[in-house]
């Protein structure tokens, strides 16, 4: 299984890897923002979290297209 995963990563187009990395970056940013104490959760921070989810969704779509999985 490990060898198959490594082979898949090596064969992945660099453009797909880019979008996968951007998606992971958004996911980490969301996690960091969601760990903010509830007393500091402002409307602006809430909006930033929503924007991060939108960016993550867009990066997911681009990743799927680059992998050739989109119809």
Chain segment 3-53, per-residue pLDDT in tens: 877 777 788 899 999 999 999 999 999 999 888 887 777 899 889 999 999
59/16 Cα distance (integer angstroms): 9
What pLDDT, on a 0 to 100 scale, did the predictor assign at position 50?
A: 95
Please determine, for residue 1, whether its predicted confidence score (pLDDT) is greater than 70.
no
Q: Which long-range contacts (CB under 8 A, 24 or more apart) does 62-71 make?
A: 62/19, 63/16, 63/19, 63/20, 63/23, 66/13, 66/15, 66/16, 66/19, 67/12, 67/13, 67/16
Residue 59: which pLDDT band, with cuts at 50, 70 and 90? very high
Residue 65: which pLDDT band, with cuts at 50, 70 and 90? very high
The pTM for the full model equals: 0.76
């Amino acid at each position: 299984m490990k060898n198959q995963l490594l082979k898949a990563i090596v064969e992945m187009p660099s453009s797909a890897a880019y979008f996968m990395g951007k998606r992971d970056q958004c996911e980490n940013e969301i996690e960091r923002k969601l760990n903010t104490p509830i007393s500091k959760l402002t409307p602006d921070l809430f909006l930033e979290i929503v924007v991060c989810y939108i960016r993550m969704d867009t990066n997911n779509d681009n990743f799927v297209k680059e992998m050739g999985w989109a119809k």
